[in-house]
Structure 1
Amino acid sequence: MFDPPDLNLPDADLTYLPAWLDRATADDWLDQLVRETPWQQPEVVLFGKRHPVPRLLAWYGDAEARYRYSGMVHQPLPWTPLLAEIRQRLVDTLGRPLNGALLNYYRDGQDSMGWHSDDERELGEDPLVVSLSLGGERRFDLRRKGHTRIAHSLMLAHGSLLVMGGQTQHHWQHQVAKTRKPCAPRLNLTFRLIRAPL
């Protein structure tokens, strides 16, 4: 794990706040969101075969905040009172608007997210991705686009906030890899600004 000053990566705008949320609030939000979210596990087609996405997910947002990724168009669920509260806290913290949130639930170490950049057209020229982590710590890896070597890794703590802005998504990819180490379930909320709705 490294501290925020070490996140001064070339061609990236990254800020990590390891204790953005107090533990009691983080515990409460985690419990409520895991229970109340209508989780889905969509399938993706790879080399002609259908595979379930290795995690559970849900997409929330303003009515117009449709979002296309992994070949699917996601219609937003309406904000719940809790998610609306979380969004407002983030908007107040960042001074930036946010109109959608992708929730990913990693049930154990075998749930994962492969290498990718959040650079879909709907996110505009300089995508803003605000990632709130709740639950078990998982390692977040970064690598330069066009490279295979992991350049930086960060343990995302319970109640932490990682903000990725500027040119980050144009030059960097990130992943949450599978792990054989025992780990508690993790909920990741990635708030975004959909600038060009579908």
Structure 2
Amino acid sequence: MTAQAIQLAGASVTFDPAWLGENEAWALFEALYAALPWERHRIKVYGRAIDAPRLSCWIGDAAYKYSGTVFEPHPWPAALAPVRERLARELQGDFNSVLANLYRNGADRLGFHRDSEPELGPEPLIASVSLGATRRFRFRARQGEGTLGLELSHGSLLVMSGATQRNWLHAVPPTARTVGPRINLTFRHVAPR
């Protein structure tokens, strides 16, 4: 892996802009775009239930509760097996689940949050693979004024571990630019309920 460390105080973040080759990344994008049972998740934002501004699919071996809702997993598609195995080997992680998000255009987004659900453990390892259109990814310190932006390109891998989720929020903001669809895969280990 040719990942570079991203300098964020109190965090452990690496980024590899070309983790998957161009052809491999497009083949994976096309397989998942066509085959996954995409749905609009209902989430709670400031105590109010709303439709998420993107489409999603929870895949894995364990149910996952976030934003006040329990999501039962869909089975692993064959196309994700080599990616899951490579991530496990390179990161020494036991990834039993992945949240797939489909950003259909620049209006689809993900607000500032942290992956801090108890079943992820105190210092979760989150491996985020991006496919399709490049989108801006933002970090914001939970305390203080630190911010950082990264362009998550087709085939890139962003890894967050250690105290990152405790100290930093992250988001994919909307953009007025015309952008095509993007699939993001966030691999993680969820303790079974």
Pairing 1:76-95 to 2, within 5 Å after superposition: 76-95=73-92
Runs of 4+ in 1 over 4 A off after TM superposition: 45-50
Partner of 1:70: 67
Letter in 1 for 2:31: Q
Paired residue for 2:29?
A: 30
Could you tell me whether the CA contact under 8 Å between 1:117 and 1:174 is conserved in 2?
Answer: yes
The alignment of Structure 1 onto Structure 2 pairs a total of residues equal to: 191
2:4 aligned residue? 4
Structure 1 unaligned blocks of 5 or more: none
Which SS does the other structure have where 1:111 is aligned? Answer: coil
- Segments of structure 2 that go 5 or more residues without pairing to the other structure are none
- Which shows bigger deviation, 46-55 or 138-147? 46-55
Q: Report the AA paired with residue 89 of structure 1.
A: R
- Counting aligned pairs with the same residue, the percent is 43
Partner Cα separation in structure 1 for residue 53 and residue 78 of structure 2: 28
* Stretch of structure 1 that moved more, 124-133 or 81-90: 81-90
Secondary structure in structure 2 of the residue aligned to 1:84:
helix
Within-5 A mapping of 1:1-198: 4-5=4-5, 7-46=6-45, 50-62=49-61, 65-147=62-144, 151-194=147-190, 196-198=191-193
TM-score, normalisation: structure 2:
0.93
Bigger drift between 46-55 and 29-38 goes to 46-55
Q: CA deviation at 1:97?
A: 1.2
Q: Tell me which amino acid in the other structure corresponds to 1:164.
A: M
CA distance in structure 2 between the aligned counterparts of 1:120 and 1:50, rounded to whole angstroms: 18
Q: How far did residue 86 of structure 1 move?
A: 1.6
Q: Larger deviation: 104-113 or 150-159?
A: 150-159
How much has 1:48 moved relative to structure 2? Answer: 7.2
Taking the aligned partners of 1:8 and 1:132, their CA distance within structure 2 comes to 20
Measure how far apart 1:42 and its partner are: 2.1
Q: Give the alignment's TM-score, normalised by structure 1.
A: 0.91
Report deviation, 1:81.
Answer: 1.0
Rounded to whole Å, the distance in 2 between the matches of 1:61 and 1:154 is 28
* Distance across 1 between alignment mates of 2:67 and 2:102: 17
User: In structure 2, what is the Cα distance between the partners aligned to 1:119 and 1:103?
Assistant: 18
- Counterpart Cα distance in 2 of 1:87 and 1:45: 29
Report the residue type matching 2:20 in the other structure.
Answer: L
1:141/1:150 contact within 8 Å kept: no
What is the aligned-residue RMSD (CA, Å)? Answer: 1.6
